[in-house]
Each structure stands twice: as C-alpha cells, then as structure tokens.
A and B are shown apart, each in its own frame.
Chain A
Amino acid sequence: MEGIRDRAVIRNLFSEAYRNIDINIDEIEKREFGIGDFGKKIVYRHLAFRSESQLKNFLIERTPIYISYSISYYQHPDRPMDQKEYIRADFAIDIDESLDRLNIIKQDIFELYDILKSEFGLQRIVINYSGNRGFHIHVRDRWIQELSRDARAAIIDYLILRDVKIEDIGIIRKDNLLMGPRYENMKNRMQARLLRSIREITGNDRVYLGDWSDVDMQKFALALERSRFRISMDSNVTLDQTKLLRMENSIHGDTGFIAKIIDINKLHDFDPWYDAVLFEDREIRVRMIEDYICKKYGVELKRDHSYRLKGDLGVFLLLSNRAKLI
C-alpha cells in the first residue's frame, strides 16, 4: 500500500480499533515483541512491555501495522538474543494454509487438538487465527513449556510421522510377509491412522497384511503419506525458540482481520469474514485497482470503478492492494 493518505487512514482505523480490543497476554513482562509497518512484518524486535495497559497504550498511540510476540519467555526480553536469559517456551504449531482449504484445516485441527488433549493430557491449548492465512496452536501447560528442543522435536516427529519405520507400528516382517497388529492393539492415534491407510491401500483388513515384496514398500511410503495431516505444519516454528508469532487479538496488516482466539467448539463454524473482522460499522469509498468478488456482501467489484463499501471489505481491499482510497 503506497499512498500516504491511505496509510494514515488505515493507521487511524487500527488505532481506534485497538481502544476496544482487550489485551490479555500470559506473562506479558517476559515476552519479546516485534512490530512491523506496511509491507514489512517485522521492522523492530526485542521490544518489551511491563503491563497490558502499557502495551495497549502503545497500540493506540504508535499503532504498528503488525505486531508479533515470542513463544519464549525470558528474564530480559528487551535485551539482545544472547542476553535474554531464556526461561521456557510455549509449544507452538504453525499451520500455514490457504483459507480455500478451510474445511480440511478445521478437520485436522480438531484431530490434532484431540491428540494433544487425550494422548498428551494437555489442558491449556489455545487456537489462534493468524489474521490472514492459517492458524497457530499455542500449548501452555507448564511441562511442555519446559521441554528441551530435542524433546519438542520428538513430539513433532510423532505428529508429522517423520522417520517412521514399519516395525514402529508393530508390523513384523517375515521374509516377504508382513504381519500386522490388531487394530485394537494400536498404541496411539498416529499408529491407528497409519494402520488404517495401510489397510485401505492393501485392501486387507485382517491381521495378515499380504505379501509385500521389497518393491511394495512403496505402499508403506504411500500409506505414510496418506496418514499425515493434510495441513502443512512448519516444524521450524515449533523448534525455533526465537520465533515471533502473530500476537493474539492483534490486527493483521495484510487483511485488517483480527488474530482471534477461537474456542474449539466454535471452530467448526469459524469464518474470518464473519468472526474476525473489524470496521463493519463504517463505510469507506474506494476505487478498484483490480476486479474482486466478495461473497460476504454478494458484490462483484470492477476495476477502475468506485464504490462505497463496508469498512471490513474496504480495509481488506486497501491492504491487499486491490483498491485505493478516493
């Protein structure tokens, strides 16, 4: 977004919106923050705030276009990396996906949530819409926050089925015959997913899985591929403890959407255009730079035409460079 006036208008809108947004951040004084401006998600980092009200004032007065916070907690979040004194870190999963696949994303998040809850016994799982594409899952149970990098890697490896060998799921190989375990003996959910795919592929639902020559080990690779979650999870985000992620309830500078915390029970019906928008009560006059169809308002907007639009759509079009202010 180039125009100086456009930028000033957007910043004012954000600033006003922040007056009405509640900021609740776990141990805010131990988090590092990073802020960005138009076109650049992080311009400064190593910022710290003593309290939620201090942060809120900052958001109203300085109004960054993007703001992220650390998944790590530090003794001195405002110091350079090597002097911060790491304490612990959320276990975070970054799901970066095009929202066209929203239903698949939701299904996989449900399953993932359930595994974290029922297998890992985790209680403090927060699902956070990123404000643009995808979602973040933050897990804040103390024991998982205190895990080492290697231990986190072991959990991620499990969740994304990395480096799985056929013996790991209790399949015994005798010559070219593979003997599978019974479904009810499956030790965990990921194993069960995998066994289910193997059975789909081999068309065999009994213990005996058929005669697999070495070549057919490709079937195992295929089964592995099919059993994985379809959402792309960036394991680097989970393992890189210096990572900054979109701050919950902040406004995303690519969309004007709010990075909202979503209750798992409301995930099924979640639609950012209805559940994560601001400025609906305003009107904005824009001239289109390109064609755009908005399903929510049922309008087809034509290039080079001018429109008076609802604030959420207007801000979205301005930020995504599809329109200019008149």
Chain B
Amino acid sequence: MLITRNDSEILAITVLYYKLFLNNVRILYKLMLNLDTSLINEEKIRANSERVWNEIPNDRSIDRLMIHVIFNILRNKTNKAREILLNIYHRTRGANFQIVPSKLRIEEYLGISVHPNLIARKIREGYIELDNDEIVNVRVDMMLRSIKKYVDSNRKELQEMFKDWLPKAIVRTIKSYPPCIQNILNRISSGENVGHYERLVLGIYMININKEIDEIIEIYRQLPNFNERKTRYYLEHIHKNKYKMYSCEKIRQLGLCVANCGINTPLQWKG
C-alpha cells in the first residue's frame, strides 16, 4: 500500500487535492474553518481527516495517488512526484493526460520537459520528433508542470495554511545534526556564501544520511550564488560515487570542527 501518511499529512494533501481537482467548495470551506481555529484538538483533526479521506471512494485509488503527487511537489520532491504520475499514467493508460503531438517545436519541448535530453531526441528543422516512449514522458512532464505551476503560485499560502503539518525548512526543524554540520547550516541560513569545503562536507553528510537530493538542494538554495544545475550535478555525483563521509579528523583539518563530541565521524552523532 502506497499510502502510509499520518493523518495530518493526509488532511493537508486532501485539502490540496480538493482545491485543485474536485473544486469541492463545501469540504474545503469546512476544513479552512477548522484550520483557522486554533482550538481544534488532535481528535478533531483525526476525525476530520479520516472523514475527508474516506469521502474519496475506494475505487478511486488514482485520486489518492494524485494527492501524493501534489504533496510531493509541495515538499519539493519533484522526482518522486514524477514517478507517481508515471504510475498513474500507466494505470489509466494515459486517459487523463493531455494529448501531445509526436512532433513538438524545440522550444515547446524544452519548456515542457523536466529533464530535457536533446542528445537522445530526433531533431529536425526546429522540431523534436518523439517516439511512443518519449511521448509518455513528455505527457507526464506536462501534467507535472501544470500541477507544479499551481503549487508554486500558491506555495506561500499553502505552506502557511499547513504549516503545522508540513515539515518545516530542514535547517530550522532538525536540531540533531552534529555541531560541525549544524554550524555550516547556520552559516548558510544567515546568508553567508560558504566555501567549497563547507558545501562538499554538507553534501556528503546529507547524502550519507539518505536525505533526498531535492531536499538537500533546498538548503543550498539559500546560497547567494546558488545554481540548481550545478548543485544537482555535484550531489548526484556524490550519490553515484558513494562518497564516504569525512572523518572528524579530516573535518578538523579543514577547520570545520567546532566541538569536541568524542566521535570519529559525524555519522556517529546521536543528537
């Protein structure tokens, strides 16, 4: 079973879902009222979310999957969202997906694709010619883009609306990073353009604790000279080549050690 979220998450994504797709004003309105009331107790949330969740008929598991798509986009897990959309596409045989012609203008293709890859495409006279597999990818990307557009243009409002349920920015929520890593995070969030080794150590650490690349990128996004392509490239490189976490000794040599934790590698930190 794909759906193993806790209730509050389900509530949040359900509201999103209804707002976006079902446009069910009645349910949304009720939920908004509840959200505005600071007095709601856990029980009430639970009851409410269960009820809303149950209002999606069981035979509409696609709808539930769709909720996960939205939820993952809201949490910047675009690749995950794309994976689920692809799953939906195959289950529905593309019934709900926009039709894409097999020939697209290059600028359209580049505008739609999440990961455009021209070297693998047939390119002629300003057009990209797609074979059947590629059309699926492009359709999924189009769908993803339209949902993403909605989420992005309402991101602040949505995050504010669900601030109690969505994980907060990584930097602020998790207090259990080892001091050296926390120090780098603090410096980044205070606006400092930290150096190469700080970025490298942070990246290797986050990859080693299995944080998702999309999530790690959100940390780097705060850097003054942030470049998403480069950042993603380096993180994927670290991931692919299974970079080992530096030892505390090495971190000390780099001048990045800030405490005496009595451990050998930051991975041993039990915050």
Contacts and interface: CB of A to CB of B under 8 A. Distances in A.
Interface stretch (B120-128, B137-145, B148-156): B120-128
Contacts of A155: 110, 118
A245 B126 CA distance: 26
A169 B127 CA distance: 18
A119 B125 contact: yes
A197 interface: no
Report which residue of A148, A154, A170, A191 has the largest number of chain B beta carbons within 10 angstroms of its beta carbon: A154
Contacts, number: 64
B110 A154 contact: yes
Nearest to B111: A151
Given A146-B107, A151-B107, A169 B126 contact: no
B110 A151 contact: yes
Interface string B76-91: 0000000000000000
B175 interface: no
A241 to B, nearest CB: 13
Contacts of A297: none
Contacts of B116: 150-151, 154
Interface residues of A, number: 28
Contact of A147 (B107, B121, B124, B127): B107
Interface of B is mostly: mixed
Interface in B207-241: 229, 233
Nearest to B127: A121
Given A158-B118, A158-B119, A191-B120, 10 more contacts: A119-B123, A121-B126, A144-B107, A146-B107, A150-B229, A153-B229, A155-B110, A163-B233, A167-B120, A169-B120
B106 interface: yes
Interface of B: 105-107, 110-111, 113, 116-127, 229, 233
A187 B229 CA distance: 25
24 contacts: A118-B124, A119-B123, A120-B106, A120-B123, A121-B125, A122-B126, A143-B105, A143-B106, A143-B107, A144-B107, A148-B110, A148-B111, A151-B107, A151-B110, A151-B111, A151-B116, A154-B116, A168-B119, A169-B119, A187-B120, A187-B122, A188-B118, A188-B121, A190-B119
B107 A168 contact: no
A190 B123 CA distance: 10
A161 interface: yes
A119 to B, nearest CB: 4
Contacts of A147: 107, 110
Interface in A149-197: 150-151, 153-155, 157-158, 161, 163-164, 167-170, 187-188, 190-191
Contact of A188 (B110, B119, B233): B119
| Residue of B113, B122, B127 contacting most chain A CB atoms (<10 Å) | B122
A190 B233 CA distance: 22
A84 B236 CA distance: 35
A61 to B, nearest CB: 39
Nearest to B131: A187
Contacts of A164: 119
B118 A154 contact: yes
Contacts of A154: 110, 113, 116-118
A183 to B, nearest CB: 14
3 A-B pairs with the lowest CB-CB distances in the bound complex, closest first = A121-B126, A151-B110, A158-B118
A163 B106 CA distance: 20
Given A120-B106, A146-B107, A188 B122 contact: yes
A143 B122 CA distance: 19
A43 to B, nearest CB: 25
A161 B118 CA distance: 10
A89 to B, nearest CB: 14
Nearest to A158: B118
A315 B221 CA distance: 49
Contact of B118 (A144, A157, A170): A157
Contacts of A118: 124-125
Contacts of A170: 120
